[in-house]
Amino acid sequence: MTLQTELAAGLNVLDLSIPSAAQTRLLRFIALMAKWNAVYNLTAIREESRMLTHHLLDALSIARFIPDGSTLIDIGSGGGVPGIPLAIARPDLDVLSIEPNSKKASFQQQVRIDLGLENFDVQVARAEAVELPQSRDFIVSRAFGDLADFIKVAGHLLKPDGQMLAMKGVYPDEEVRAIPAGWALRRAEELQVPGVEGARHLLWLARVPAAG
């Protein structure tokens, strides 16, 4: 099975309709990741077919949960996942990646240029030190750390009524119990990612409205 066929099959399972031009961009992203990986150590995965399932399709498994026209920050994405695949598949989204590792941020910037991603940008910084002129609708993390740290590091970048999206493997019971005061788990969804074994979950975190 070619990567193109595997991608099409995976998108069908995820019930995502993505134009052929965008699918070509997604495959080019995988090719760029494989090319740069040896130098920049973007991922421990070396095979392009596993990059497609464990990075690309994993990222796109949350696409249907993000409303049209949303603004999104991707925290600590390393090689640009899930931010870059989401920006390719959803040109209606405004995606900002905040990545502290300058080499990995350089890779993301190169992808932005090579693929002409006008709805994607990257900032080299630690999220806790970033101040933006406008807060965002969603902040997403994938294997970033525990939920309390996610909120501590990036919560200030979120709109008052925005939501933080944490991509997790096994449902993190202990982390949920340790969510800091003023925040709450609003929703949890088990994800099925084609070609990826093991549990995958998406958790929604939001501020608790002030009483009165």
Rg of the chain's alpha carbons, rounded to an integer?
17
Number of H helices, E strands in the chain: 8, 7
CB 85 within 8 A of CB 59: yes
Per-residue pLDDT, averaged over 87-105, amounts to 97
pLDDT digit string (tens) for 14-29? 999 999 999 999 999 9
Residues 6+ apart with CB under 8 A from 165: 62, 65, 66, 138, 139, 140, 141, 202, 203, 204, 205
pLDDT confidence bin for 212, thresholds 50/70/90: low
Give the H/E segment covering residue 159: strand 158-168
Query: For the chain, first and last CA: distance in Å?
Result: 59
Residue with tokens 């920049």: 40
CB 107 within 8 A of CB 36: yes
| φ, ψ (nearest 5 deg) of residue 25 | -65, -40
pLDDT digit string (tens) for 49-70? 999 999 999 999 999 999 999 9
CA atoms within 13 A on the CB side of 127: 24
Residues 6+ apart with CB under 8 A from 178: 146, 147, 148
Output the CA–CA distances (angstroms, integers) from residue 4 to 48, 52, 86, 134, in the order listed: 11, 10, 18, 38
Per-domain boundaries in the chain: 3-207
Instruction: List the alpha helices (DSSP H) in 116-195.
Output: 147-154, 173-177
Tell me the one-letter amino acid at 126. Answer: R
Give me the pLDDT at residue 58, please: 97
The Cα 99–Cα 92 span in angstroms is 22
Looking at every residue in the chain, the average pLDDT score rounds to 96
Share of the chain above pLDDT 70, in %: 99
Class of domain 3-207: alpha beta
